[in-house]
Amino acid sequence: MAEAAPTTAMRTLGRLSNAAYRPREYLTEGEVEKLIDTARKRGRNGARDAAAILLAYRHGLRAQELCQLRWSQVDLRHGRLHVNRAKGGQESVHPLCGPELRALRPLQGSSPYVFTTEAGTPVTTAWFLRMVQRTGVAAKMPFAVHPHMLRHSTGYKLANDGHDTRSLAHYLGHRNLQSTARYTALAPDRFAGFWRD
């Protein structure tokens, strides 16, 4: 008789829920700025690391999307970023603002990739994970930080700023509005005006 396939509980034995490791899955705007400032001051690649965190946050990029970002997707002259989404997400064109343009210009080199190692090869998702984790420790963040928190931070920031769910879904490349609803659920103004005293 064939053995049954292992259950999810059996495969993840020893792994606790995310709540056991950190109180939330996103960073506030101030925490992201602290992370960027710390990255800028760390080591000889501080400008690259700070730019990577900034772009991941401002554009809701997944680690894979950031590491595969090519200069052909960046239009510094007109301030545009063509975002190719992973996981079957919708592609879109985002505006690049002053801080992003200033962070990207010094990174231009001979590689077709925006973020490269000192050897000129594209960075990897493992590099991005380690860099964000180490920067979080150096920034003395009160909990462990990981790259996907930057994407969640984008969603919560934009939802809290009052952007509608459909626009937010398109910005993050979500094909399903259910994926985006989590960000609007915590928006503090959502219940404003329920009670008039």
Catalytic center residues: 62, 87, 148, 151, 174, 183
Q: Which residues contact 101 (CB under 8 A, 6 or more apart)?
A: 76, 79
Number of residues that make up the chain: 197
- Nearest to 90, CA basis, from 120, 60, 56: 60
The Cβ-side half-sphere exposure at 109, using a 13 Å CA radius, reads 13
